[in-house]
Every structure is written in C-alpha cells, then in structure tokens.
Amino acid sequence: MRPAVFASFFAAFLASACGDSMRIEPVTVQWMDWPWQVAYGQPFRTRLVVSGVCAYTPRFRPGATADQSAVTFAPYFVVGNENIACIAEVTSPPLLAYGGVDTAGMAPGLKESRVYEMRAASATPTLGAVESSLPNRTFGAVSVALPGDLIVVGRRNAAGFVSKEIDNAGCVRIRPGGLYRPGAGLVLENPVDTAGLSNTFVRGYIDQVVTPVCGETTVFHLVSRN
C-alpha cells in the first residue's frame, strides 16, 4: 500500500473512532536490521530506527505488509492534537521529539521459499524537515527456509543512513542515523576507503566473529553504499 493512501486510510479511521482528538504522523526509516534467513510462514522481528515526532505519548505502528515480492514497512505514530512546541531533544518523558527512535516491528510470515526484498518509507534525514512524501527504498533482502531446512542464525542483514566515528585507536564505527546514545555504534569489520561514509546510505550485515575487532565480536560488514 502506498504511504499516501496508507496515511489517508488511517486518518479516516482515527477521525471516525476518536473524533478530532487523534491523528497519524508517518515517519521514515533511517536504519533497519533483520534476520539473514527466516522460517517459512513465521513472522519475524525487524529492528527499525525511525524519525521521531513532536508529541506526547505517541503510539508507534510499524505498518508492515507483504506481497509476493517484498516486505514493506510504512511506519507511523498515532498522536494527539496537542499544540506543543517542538524541540530538538527530549526534555521530560513522555515527550518524543525529532531524532532517531530505536524500536522494532514484526514482519508478516512469508510463505514462499525464495528471496524477498525488504523495503521501507525512507528519505534523507534532515533534522526538523517536513517530508511531503515518503518514497519506499529497498534496504536489502531476506531469504525464506522451508520447514526442516537449517536456518542461518547469528547474522543479520542491515542497511540505513549512518555517521562515521573513528576513535583514538583508529577503530572505525558506524552509527545508525539519529541515534546518539553511547554504545549505538557498530565496529566496521572492513574499514576500507571510509572517506565520505558519514551521512551515506549503506547496506551490509551484522555478524558475530571469533576474533574480536577493536575488542568487539559483533561487527558490521559493509557491502555497498550510495
């Protein structure tokens, strides 16, 4: 379902159910990671870092759908119509302001043993920008294993907008867009030609390695960027 149609549908639903007290705020996906492979017909948990909204007690909805070729997330928040000043950081819970919100959504079970694209509403993250449209972007793919097949575990595909960090030891980390908390960065396993990596959309996978990289065994392997 296209994001604009999706938003219109739920706006109409909320208006009928709650009068004018509630509305929806579509948001973009800034980062996504999900299992490398999933079981046939089983819903699977997908991590989503989404842009925030300026509202009290917002309720998140991942807006997940699936068809014969792809799983698509069109996330949104259900918010009240309170007239509040939007600020750049959280001052007191439960106020949620612009920035990255680290959350998750369940993807529907997939019933074909094949590769599906993983898509989501996405745009270049600009602090405070008002998005007039939320185009879908392909973040990567997920494969489906038949019942009885051995499923690859421990590895997750990942993609999204990132910033680059280099510490005093020369270790390179990428941080999902909008996440500022300590520990949010992932060690880059293959830090080759990282110039211009910040504010770039990257694709790769998160893996567990036997030999630690920069003291960590959970690393991000860069596959592509654009």
d(CA 114, CA 91): 46
Burial class of residue 84, CB neighbours in 10 A (0-12, 13-18, 19+): exposed
The owner of tokens 């520990």 is 183
Asked if residue 19 belongs to a domain, the reply is: no
Output the pLDDT for position 23.
87
What strand order describes the sheet that includes 59-61?
Answer: 22-26, 76-80, 59-61
Confidence of residue 158 (pLDDT cuts 50, 70, 90): very high
* Residue 193 sits in the same domain as residue 97: no
Is there a single domain that holds both residue 29 and residue 106? yes
Pair 136, 165 in one domain:
no
- Looking at the fold, whether 28 and 107 belong to one and the same domain comes out as yes
Does one domain contain both 130 and 216?
A: no
Instruction: For residue 91, name the pLDDT band (cuts at 50, 70, 90).
Output: very low
Question: What are the tens digits of pLDDT across the range 200-214?
Answer: 999 999 999 999 999
On whether both 183 and 219 belong to a single domain, the answer is yes
Cβ-based neighbours of 95, under 8 Å, separated by 6 or more: 54, 55, 56, 84, 87
Q: By percentage, how much of the chain surpasses pLDDT 70?
A: 78
CATH number where 56 lies: 2.60.40
The pLDDT assigned to 183 comes to: 87
pLDDT of residue 10 exceeding 50: no
The answer to the question of residue 203 being in a domain is: yes
Instruction: Quote the pTM value.
Output: 0.80
CATH number at 205 reads 2.40.50
Which of the residue ranges 27-36, 72-81, 96-105, 154-163 would you say has the lowest mean pLDDT? 96-105
Measured distance CA(147)–CA(163) in Å, rounded: 39
Same domain assignment for residues 135 and 163: no
Q: Do residues 161 and 137 both lie within one domain? A: no
Q: Do 139 and 164 belong to one domain?
A: no
Tell me which of 200 and 81 has the higher pLDDT.
200
At residue 3, the pLDDT reads 46
| 40 and 70 inside one domain | yes
pLDDT over 50 at 98, yes or no: no
Domain of residue 109 covers 3-10+24-145
Verify that 129 and 196 share a domain, yes or no.
Answer: no
